[in-house]
């Protein structure tokens, strides 16, 4: 577990009471130290990590909302390439500043950053491929189960939490899946399900690799992820030109595309910071609630109606968040 929780310093019982005429403090066995726990101080980093993860999910959900609006007028692949490209340019500047002021990152930062970029690229490629051959109601809910990967890895590496928090995490995960609008009626072909499962594995692994890389340095991780994503998307564009068929972005769309790329970038950075301040399993679940944010924006901005299963999912996710942070 990589969560950095501040532990109070150990103390030795005072014997000043006997000098003042009071009762002496209980003796401490030789070679042992009593540790006093300070719940408020210890829980503060955990709470901050949870809040950062929630803000990360809001940023991801808002980016998906903007991306969905742009994709109604522009070819989706063009939207993704332009937004990821703008984010990469921003990271080039930040990475250059980082090299000039701090120096080159460690080898581990490069390793986990490349792993995060490759896993994220694989997940996105499988997600887009799944959506091209299947329905969103099948592919999106399965792909959202990728959060199971960092949760399992966190538990295997030492994450632990109480019954109430565990129940909250379970409700939040289930709510995110339902908010994605599952539709499994009728005949479902195998290929979209397999591609969605591969997308879940790639995207979930990417979250865990971001957590590992953020322990070294966030900036190189984000730069490497965007570099790999841009290269992969350009290769897809080259090999499958029909995937980019459609209208190109107009000049009025460029600010929205830039904000889309920066929103995704900010969300990833916030998740990396959150995973260093709380348990990675908890941060991953809270950061993966972006379908809820997207759905609520569509409801209150575009006045779209939510299906009953989506409404139930939003309610479950919000209840889960309350249980986790309470």
Q: Spell out a b/e string for 28-58, using b for 16 or more CB atoms within 10 Å of the CB, else e.
A: eeeeeeeeeeeeeeeeebbeebbbbbbbbbb
User: Would you say the C-alpha torsion 163, 166, 172, 175 has a positive or negative sign?
Assistant: negative
Residue 269 C-alpha from the chain's centroid: 9
169 three-class SS: helix
- pLDDT for the residue numbered 312: 94
- pLDDT for the residue numbered 44: 66
Q: Which regions of the chain are under pLDDT 50? A: 1-42
CA dist 313 and 301 (Å) reads 19
For 48-64, what is each residue's pLDDT tens digit?
999 999 999 999 999 98
- pLDDT for the residue numbered 106: 76
Q: How far is CA 63 from CA 14, 55, 107, 214, in A?
A: 56, 12, 31, 22
- pLDDT for the residue numbered 16: 39
CA angle 3, 110, 219 (to 5 degrees): 65
Query: Does the pTM of the predicted model rise above 0.85?
Result: no
Q: How far is CA 288 from CA 61, 167, 173, 235, 283, in A?
A: 9, 16, 8, 28, 8
Residue 312 C-alpha from the chain's centroid: 22
Contact 63, 271 (CB under 8 A): no
Contact 77, 244 (CB under 8 A): yes
- pLDDT for the residue numbered 186: 66
- pLDDT for the residue numbered 29: 47
Contact 223, 166 (CB under 8 A): no
- pLDDT for the residue numbered 124: 81
């Amino acid at each position: 577990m990589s969560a950095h929780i501040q532990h109070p310093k150990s103390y030795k019982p005072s014997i000043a009471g006997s000098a003042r005429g009071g009762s002496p403090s209980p003796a401490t066995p030789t070679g042992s130290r009593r540790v006093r726990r300070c719940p408020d101080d210890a829980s503060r980093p955990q709470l901050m990590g949870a809040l950062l993860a929630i803000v990360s999910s809001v940023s991801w959900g808002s980016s998906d909302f903007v991306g969905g609006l742009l994709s109604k007028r522009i070819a989706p692949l063009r939207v993704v390439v332009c937004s990821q490209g703008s984010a990469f340019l921003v990271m080039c500047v930040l990475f250059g500043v980082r090299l000039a002021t701090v120096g080159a990152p460690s080898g581990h930062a490069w390793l986990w950053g490349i792993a995060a970029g490759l896993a994220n690229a694989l997940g996105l490629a499988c997600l887009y491929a799944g959506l091209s051959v299947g329905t969103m109601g099948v592919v999106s809910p399965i792909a959202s189960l990728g959060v199971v990967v960092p949760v399992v890895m966190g538990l295997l590496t030492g994450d632990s939490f109480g019954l109430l928090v565990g129940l909250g995490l379970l409700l939040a995960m289930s709510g995110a899946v339902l908010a994605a609008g599952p539709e499994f009626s009728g005949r479902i072909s195998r290929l979209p399900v397999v591609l969605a499962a591969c997308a879940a594995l790639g995207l979930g692994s990417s979250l865990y690799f971001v957590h590992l890389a953020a322990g070294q340095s966030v900036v190189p991780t984000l730069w490497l992820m965007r570099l790999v994503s841009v290269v992969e998307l350009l290769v897809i564009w080259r090999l499958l030109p029909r995937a980019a068929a459609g209208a190109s972005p107009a000049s009025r769309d460029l600010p929205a595309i830039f904000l889309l790329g920066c929103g995704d970038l900010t969300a990833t950075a916030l998740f990396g910071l959150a995973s260093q301040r709380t348990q990675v399993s908890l941060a991953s679940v809270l950061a993966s609630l972006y379908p809820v944010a997207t759905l609520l924006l569509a409801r209150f901005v575009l006045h779209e109606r939510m299906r009953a299963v989506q409404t139930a999912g939003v309610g479950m996710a919000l209840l889960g968040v309350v249980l986790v942070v309470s």
